[in-house]
Amino acid sequence: MKKKNPKYFHTAIDANALDPVTPERKRDAARLLELSRKRAISLILPYSVRKEFENRGTPEEIRRAAGEQIFTIETERTLEEEARASKILAVLQGNAKAGRHDADAGHIAELEKYGGGYFITYDDRIRDRQSEWRQFAPSVEIVTLEEYMTIFDEGQSDGTKS
């Protein structure tokens, strides 16, 4: 199945998306931020992810670069938005500790609210349960940073919007 060209859709990131755990991931993170700076992609940081960057042991270069990105602002959800986030949370929560996946459900619901697109994360629970929560956020694709860069490059090579 052909993937959506990231050039034409929003891309949101989880806090773990830019973790420089390998040289390849560090390179891809720098490239993602550069694509955003050049406006080749629409990169959005959910407000709660921005807070995570400020509060964790994030390397200074990533913190500085993330601070330059477009970020959402916390607003009160409509009843429909709250219902969507609650349904996604119910799937993600499963038997895990209460409150642990509230922010993740909010990230996905928020991206759906803004028209969908790609959500870059390494969170296995989000990735593994995508087929279950997808009915509540059908326009959101979950990918790793490496997968996203491959999809971006393929979109550049064929030049088509999908």
| Closest C-alpha among 22, 28, 34 to residue 151 | 28
Q: Where are the domains of the chain?
A: 7-156
CATH 3.40.50.1110 fits 7-156, yes or no: no
Secondary structure E strands in 14-161: 42-45, 70-71, 117-120, 140-143
CA within 13 Å, CB half, 31: 13
The structure tokens listed for 126 are 């989000």
pLDDT tens digits, 10-65: 898 887 888 878 999 989 988 998 898 898 998 887 666 666 666 666 666 666 66
Answer yes or no: is pLDDT of 160 > 60. no
SS3 2: coil
pLDDT in tens, 57-76: 666 666 666 666 656 666 67
Average pLDDT rounded to a whole number, residues 94-120: 83
pTM of full prediction above 0.85: no
